[in-house]
Amino acid sequence: MYDNLVAQKIAKQYKERPLVDFASVNSDTRIETLNLNWRERDLPENERTKHVHRLHPYLGKFIPQLVEIFLRKYRPKLVYDPFCGSGTTMVEANALGIDSIGTDISAFNVLLSKVKTDKYDISLLEKETYEILRRLSNYRTKFYNNEKLNKLFSPKSEYLKTWFARNTQKELLCYRWLIKQYTYQDLFKIILSRSARSARLVKHYDLDFPKKPQTTPYQCYKHGRICEPVKEAYKFLYRYTLDTLQRMKEFSGIRSDAKVVVNHADSREVELPKGIDMVFTSPPYVGLIDYHEQHKYAYELLGLKNNEIREIGAAKNGYSAQAREQYIKGINEVLLHTRDYMAKNALALIVINDKHGLYKPEAVGFKSLGQVDRHVNRRTGQRDSAFYESILVWQKI
């Protein structure tokens, strides 16, 4: 019923062009007039993944233009995202000169968010980028004839042995070994993770939720032919290292001196500064994604601590009535805790598909100021279906 009502409303909006002049949004813009139903021709992929927003794939994130619009309208002094994920809120806030804070229970999410929002000496980064690629290339030529190197770059993790071809393992572990010798280690770790995701023994069209390694040729629906599983990491390491350098250069050109703080903590307990005047977040959807599992390769490669038992709404818990009850209990605990640090009349904007009607502002000390509904087209991998989401606009009372 929820999706049907939203679909009927949005069907009328599709007759008009959606908002694409984001800089035109200001305090006088009325949320009820916002048409955010972008199609590919309205908001191309390269704009949705501009600069650092494409440093690493991340399931369940909202597009940067969404948070940009509401930051421009409400112009907070300090914005907070209690489920910061891949750091979209903080990146956009920084680009607009707004101080921001993010919190996430996932060590990988915190690493990714920090890498996106850190300040870099671009000349040093460029030097380290070309040097690590040069050294990786040199080591690759020695793998087959050097017993010591083969032993050094052999994984102990059963996961790495299972999900990566032997040559891929060596290249990834060589890059990981080289990382320790550079200044911007965290950034190179993200490149390593991104490369590992692409270099797994999986079908090309099934990068999001592979159930088992693919070790034999298969019919590839992405390329329309018989494909072989990937058996090297070097091409990805090379391509993504250079791509990351370019993206960091692009963001450095618009990056402001606004403060960014990223907390590795549980949002139900984290200590925050007083005076947060806006929350912008996209909480996990109940029973949809296991946020630690989607980056398992990163946890294994980088030795990150796994906090999946603290995830709210994890897919493994399902979406039964009991799971939904536990989910909204966790979400409400986050919102109640966050509310204690929010300024008088501060706003909370929540991006969610609340088809079960779980989100009740009055239950956590807020009142609704309205909502904006939008149609979302999925265009990658096997996630090619469409769905609807809403941006709930609440105010602290």
CATH no. for residue 101? 3.40.50.150
- Domain count across the chain: 2
Same domain, 205 and 297: no
Same domain, 243 and 276: no
Q: Does residue 96 belong to any structural domain of this protein?
A: yes
Cα angle 75-372-88, degrees, rounded to a multiple of 5: 50
Phi, psi of 56, deg, nearest 5: -160, 135
Phi, psi of 294, deg, nearest 5: -65, -20
pLDDT for the residue numbered 104:
97
pLDDT for the residue numbered 3:
61
* C-beta of residue 62 within 8 angstroms of C-beta of residue 387: no
In Å, how far are 98, 274, 289, 340 from 77, measured between CA atoms? 6, 12, 32, 17
Same domain, 86 and 138: no
Q: Does residue 15 belong to any structural domain of this protein?
A: yes
* C-beta of residue 218 within 8 angstroms of C-beta of residue 227: yes
Indicate the residue among 251, 280, 305 that finishes a domain: 251
Same domain, 363 and 263: yes
Torsion 347-350-355-359 (CA) sign: negative
Same domain, 264 and 390: yes
Torsion of CA 203, 387, 53, 251, to 10 degrees: 150
Same domain, 17 and 87: yes
pLDDT for the residue numbered 13:
58
Q: Does residue 370 belong to any structural domain of this protein?
A: yes
Same domain, 307 and 240: no
Q: Domain residues for 240?
A: 122-251
Q: What is the pLDDT of residues 136-150, one digit of tens each?
A: 999 988 877 788 888
Q: Does residue 200 belong to any structural domain of this protein?
A: yes
Same domain, 245 and 265: no
CA–CA separation, 98 and 92 (whole Å) = 8
Indicate the residue among 251, 273, 297 that finishes a domain: 251
Same domain, 243 and 282: no
CA–CA separation, 20 and 48 (whole Å) = 12
pLDDT for the residue numbered 272:
98
Look up the pTM and report it: 0.93
Same domain, 247 and 263: no
Indicate the residue among 251, 278, 300 that finishes a domain: 251
CA–CA separation, 351 and 33 (whole Å) = 17
Q: Does residue 114 belong to any structural domain of this protein?
A: no
pLDDT for the residue numbered 317:
87
Counting as low any pLDDT under 50, the low residues of the chain are 380-381, 383
Q: Does residue 116 belong to any structural domain of this protein?
A: no
Same domain, 268 and 391: yes
